[in-house]
Amino acid sequence: MLTYAYKIFIMIIMLYCMLNASAQSEWTHTGRDIENYLPMRQRVQIMERFWKWKRENVLPDVMREQQVDLWIIRNNEADLYYNNEGPVFTSLLLANHEGMTLPSKFAPLGSQQIPKFLLFFDTGQDIEYFEPKDYNDIRIFVESRNPKKIAIGQYNKEQMVSALGVKYANLAIDSWTLGVRWLETMSPEQISIYRYVQGMANDIIAEGFSNAVIIPGITTSDDLNWWFREKYLELDLELENHPSVIVKRRPSHIEIYKHLDPPEKFRDGQTENGINVTIQRGDVISLDSDIMLLGMVTDSHQHAYVLQEGESNVPEGLKEALKIVNNMQDLFAQEFKIGRTGKEIMAATSQLKPFEGIIETELGFHPPPMFIRRFLKGGYMFSHKTYVAGMTSGPGYYPTSIVTNNHKLYYNTLYAFEPHTSVAALGWGENGIELGIGQIAVFSEGGLRYLDRPQETKWHVIK
């Protein structure tokens, strides 16, 4: 049972998120998100509340959307989802408010054994849950309900097809789309709180991209990379990816600093992650990093400029480049239209005319990684890996197979929106400067909207 004070806290967080959701005209983080620290226990309870709401609301919606009467899920059909602890099965297990899964009703006394099967049947009024003991139980249940369409996993399905019999096996369809729709559809509360998660990431980046962390001529890209790792650890934030810190340097400055950092460290004017160089005045620093919080993962690409001696502000050419990049991203965002597949969105954006000054631009997007915190009552935690489910811009998303560019765009779905755009800027050579702004966006009836949009007009500045 949540305490009254905690319920009030959550209401305040949600109100704050709603009031700030549309305030995207200027990047003005003041540290408020990073100060709203949630203990791990409350994080898990919030995540369980998300799944409970989805089970009561999203599950019937997506089954009816896909015209499925009966969804049968096995705990051994998850080869496409890393292992047998796949996100579809794990997320649909019954659990208490702290993520402890309830054992199978057929488990021996004291055992933590989870169900072998989960069955969800649409009665027309609600979704009936049934746990069969074996394939014979499945056959009896199916015959008693006489469903018109059954969704089953296609991997290793021979026993299931045999149990259904010819009549019902002919009514069976692949459950892949249904599973993706279940995973990708977000509740209003999740979307609202995702703004807070992205705001937390933005506050951390703002601190890292400041003189509190960077001393030009002393701090290295590896120093900065590990500062972010230590900061995440300090805040009990999880992550799967090592932060990617890239230094971009004018051709003339590559020559000036070649005695400290050999030119071969820079390819087309920039380093790669893992190449350590000293951050110098006049450099652009780019970060690609994620945090994991409340089952949500950010995917942030942001940029900082290191002022040169005599400069009090970012050069006008770089200011204009940032403006062009954001305008191009807004143009891309307009091509997100309900019912379009990832392929169709990409085809539409390829026909757009780039703004003047753009050397190269390409849209890229994928659903943001998500994760589940569930445990057996004995303490064992299910796979801690993230999953990515839904529509993407490319043919796949390594190493998961639960995304595709053939999947359609639906409302209340989220995307890591990360176009890559290179813009011509004085002194930056023929390749210009690449300033893709990676950010989390939600698609709803109002179109694609950024959550806590970073760097629409402002550069991070290091003096």
Condensed to tens digits (0 to 9), the pLDDT of residues 178-208 reads 999 999 999 999 999 999 999 999 999 999 9
Q: How many CB atoms lie within 10 A of CB 307?
A: 16
Which residue's entry shows tokens 């919080």? Answer: 293
**Per-10-residue mean pLDDT for the chain, 463 residues long?**
42 41 39 85 94 96 97 81 69 92 90 92 95 96 97 92 97 96 96 95 96 98 96 90 94 96 96 95 97 94 97 96 97 98 97 96 95 85 82 79 91 96 96 95 96 93 97
Q: Which residues contact 357 (CB under 8 A, 6 or more apart)?
A: 320, 321, 324, 423, 424
pTM, to two decimals: 0.88
Residue-wise pLDDT for 48-104, tens only, equals: 999 999 999 999 999 999 999 999 999 888 655 444 468 899 999 999 998 999 999
* pLDDT score recorded for residue 240: 77
pLDDT of residue 399: 62
Residue 400 has a pLDDT of 67
pLDDT at 23: 34
User: From the centroid of its chain, how far is CA 352?
Assistant: 26
Q: How far apart are CA 327 and CA 430, in angstroms?
A: 22
Which pLDDT does position 86 carry in this prediction? 82
State how far the Cα of 334 lies from the Cα of 329, in Å rounded to an integer.
9
Which residues fall within 8 angstroms of residue 262, CB to CB, at 6 or more apart? none
Distance CA 7, CA 2 (A): 7
Q: Are 150 and 173 in contact (CB under 8 A)?
A: yes
What are the structural domains of the chain?
4-31+187-462 (3.90.230.10), 69-174 (no CATH)
State residue 155's pLDDT score: 86
Contact 113, 103 (CB under 8 A): yes
Question: What separation, in Å, do the N-terminal and C-terminal C-alpha atoms of the chain show?
Answer: 50
